[in-house]
Amino acid sequence: MPKQTRKKTKLRKKLDQSSKDDAVLAFPPNFLWGTATSAHQVEGNNINNDWHLFEQEGYADDHQVAGSGPDHYHHYEEDFKITKDLHNNAFRLSIEWSRVEPEDNHWDKKEIEHYQKVLKEARKQGLKTFVTLHHFTNPIWFMHEDGWLNPHAPEIFQSYVMMIVKELGTLVDFWMTINEPMVFATQGYIAGVWPPREKNVIKARKVIKNMAKAHILAYRSIHNVLDKDDYQAQVGFANNVSSFQIYHKHSLKDIIFVQTVDRIWNHWFMRLTKGCHDFLGLNYYFHYRVAKARFSHWQFFTDIRKERREASDVGWEIYPPGIFDVVMDLANYKIPIYITENGIAVDKDNKRARFIVSYVKELYHAIQAGAPVKGYFYWSLLDNWEWEKGYNADFGIVDVDMKTKKRTIRESGKVYSQIAEHNGIPHDLLKFVGHVTLGEITVKD
């Protein structure tokens, strides 16, 4: 065989092996693949919380109200079956505080039993459960007592947590005390677009401090009640994290500005609750660009529309490398990381499929770089009530006809199903991100 032919044969073998190696971007064994939901957004007919009043007063887009919505409350068995059909092995849900405690210290046993049935069904379907105890909504009676501004709010929340832990116990695999405390405080007490619609930085700070105390009390209570020789509770919270980019990399002012914002937004609550995390839940949606630091102006970030950046239908920039950045940063806490929310609101479903593949691919690279990422939850399983946006933002990999409640798996859901089934990204899905490997290069004689 001529020397040149032998070289080509060796190159072909090398490329064939490269193609096999790239067949799946494999994730670690026992990785959790799931979707995330919250009670008020999918259950329907939650009428005892502050958001119900907010909606009745016409503050949501187009004066919409949540109403019966996707009615997950009555369709949870069907939804869990869909979840299993999508090869998911985990599911995130929340307990609606105002359902189980509609009045102060009055417990609705029927509603508690409902959540027991939900969790038993999830376990029957082989799903690991991540249960959030506070996902933005508050009982009306709690808000009449000044809500999270009440100095006794942490103890009031602890009382609720103790009841839920007592009743649900080991039916829960992972406990999440509070969802996005920084978002809750910002939207309700600085931006003023969520209940209670105030604009007071001092109050916002107090809310965050009280939520931190509540998390610490809940963390300790859950462990005190549940930890046994053969069972150790897993307790964390969901931290909304953002990635930041400055345009002038050698501007000391800009560097200080973005580091300050990062420390407050991404790390402050972690530091307030130091030592009370068994895992870290990260919700990632936002990438912010800083053209010029403005310490005395509320408009901190560049309007991406001026730069014609790719964005979701609600204007959030699509920037997959951002999830790599925040994961690598938060990996410094050296505790397991779960992406407890990451998703996109779009009408064009092929854009959602591309979003899923591109963001999961960045997680793959983060894991290769040493980040302890143990699971990924797409937001959301179902089209749902998206807070002040009402039903105008479709995040679901499952379409829901809000009138008939019919569920239809979208093509993006089937793409996510392939990822979960293979515990990684099959090579043919990389076409969504324009990925080319050596194995796809043709060698000519």
Q: Give catalytic residue positions.
A: 341
Measured between alpha carbons, how far is 261 from 55 in angstroms, rounded to an integer?
32
Measured between alpha carbons, how far is 253 from 235 in angstroms, rounded to an integer?
38
Measured between alpha carbons, how far is 318 from 160 in angstroms, rounded to an integer?
38
User: Strand 407-409 to strand 398-400: parallel, antiparallel, or no bridges (unpaired)?
Assistant: antiparallel
Residue located via tokens 């462990």? 223
Torsion of the alpha carbons at 112, 116, 118 and 121, rounded to the nearest 10: -170
CB 392 within 8 A of CB 386: yes
* Angle ∠(309,313,314) on CA atoms, nearest 5: 90
Q: Of all helices (H) and strands (E), which one includes residue 156? A: helix 153-168
CB 236 within 8 A of CB 278: yes
Strand-pair partners of 358: none
DSSP 121-148: HHHHTT-EEEEEEESS--BHHHHHTTGG
